[in-house]
Structure 1
Amino acid sequence: MTPAVRPAVSADVDGMARVHVDSWEETYRGLMPDELLDDPAALDQRRQMWTRALDEDHQRTHTCAVADQDGRIVGVAMSGPSRDDDRPDERELFILYTYRAVQGSGAGQGLLDLVVESGTACHLWVADPNPHAQAFYRKNGFVPDGSVKTDDYDGVREIRMVRAAES
């Protein structure tokens, strides 16, 4: 069954935080330091982050969505204005995480489609290696542009993938 994808609301914060933390553990074990993934404060930090993301001021510029399966949040996504100086006029996909159990169900596609309008120029930073995510983004028209960085927070090497606007 395909999870229902919808705009996030403040009542979703606990579920959003849980899927965010759990999906990091599923995806990044071995790429991120264990102490980061196992940090007991991580869930509360993500609750605070999603609470801020859903405040009225933030929602003027950012779009947050959830995938909901039988009342349980199983995926999250957020986009907003670009943080990259060399791509100022684009949307940036900041977050798209689903539980491994729902990958391939259409949840990720639904989340992407809801937070980044079709035909919109967009870019994202994705862990490298993360072949599953990179293949998903390629399927959606994103290609690596050669930019690479190492995240200061978690030490993960990331590549930037970009998608041109459709005319």
Structure 2
Amino acid sequence: MPGDLTFRRALPQDATALGAMHVRSWQESYRGLLPDAALAALDPVERAERWRRNLEGGAEALLALSGGEILGFVGWGRARDEALGGGGEIYGLYVLARAQRRGVGSRLLTQGAAALAEGGFSGFSLWVFAGNARARQFYAAMGGRPGLRKTISRDGWSLEEIAYSWDGPPARAGAAPRGTAA
């Protein structure tokens, strides 16, 4: 990964690249966890349109970029699931496989948590597939505590999710990454 890693807020004009990266990260991360047909059916154009609508509607997301390419993102806001207690929620945290284990995910999680704190949320939660051992190890290493469980069903598949929660910043929270734009 080049040394030119920068972070900035996502804008509606990022939607096309963000949609493509989001689909690619699902295909990389969930191979063997979700049915191959479900992963093959993911549509970058549809995902880009969803991102465009969300960003134009005020959704918050931070991008990790290298050489202009989106390597990862984190999105956040008020918890959508009442079972999470009405605090903050990380809606999604995805990093391309080639950029994983290089500090990108921890920096994104830290910045998402900081944005939630600035928004008045002292703690936050996120949902992760129970079978995603790598992500669960990452969240545990970052100080997340597993808790609630639920099963989601979509397009002919069902998987259990686990909520990980933090009462404050992630365990490895540090200084803001260079190039972070609020």
| Common topology (TM > 0.5) | yes
- Corresponding letter in the other structure for 1:44: V
Q: Does residue 1:10 correspond to 2:12, yes or no?
A: yes
Would the aligned equivalents of 2:20 and 2:45 in 1 still touch at CA under 8 Å? no
SS of alignment partner, residue 44 of structure 2: helix
Once residues 106 and 49 of structure 2 are traced to their aligned partners in structure 1, the CA distance between those partners, rounded to angstroms, is 26
- Corresponding letter in the other structure for 2:16: D
Structure 1 unaligned segments of length 5 or more: list them.
none
SS of alignment partner, residue 155 of structure 1: strand
SS of alignment partner, residue 33 of structure 2: coil
Residue 2 of structure 1 and its aligned partner are, at CA, apart by 6.2
Percent identity over the alignment is 29
Residue 78 of structure 1 and its aligned partner are, at CA, apart by 0.5
Q: Does residue 1:89 correspond to 2:86, yes or no?
A: yes
Who is 1:103 aligned against?
100
Would the aligned equivalents of 1:91 and 1:123 in 2 still touch at CA under 8 Å? yes
- Root-mean-square deviation (CA), in Å? 1.9
- With normalisation by structure 1, the TM-score equals 0.86
Would the aligned equivalents of 2:10 and 2:61 in 1 still touch at CA under 8 Å? yes
Who is 1:135 aligned against?
137
Q: Does residue 1:50 correspond to 2:62, yes or no?
A: no
- Corresponding letter in the other structure for 2:150: K
Structure 2 unaligned segments of length 5 or more: list them.
170-182
The alignment of Structure 1 onto Structure 2 pairs a total of residues equal to 160
Compared with structure 1, are the counterparts of its residues 49 and 79 closer, same or farther at alpha carbon in structure 2 (3 Å cutoff)? same
- Corresponding letter in the other structure for 2:79: S
Residue 96 of structure 1 and its aligned partner are, at CA, apart by 0.5
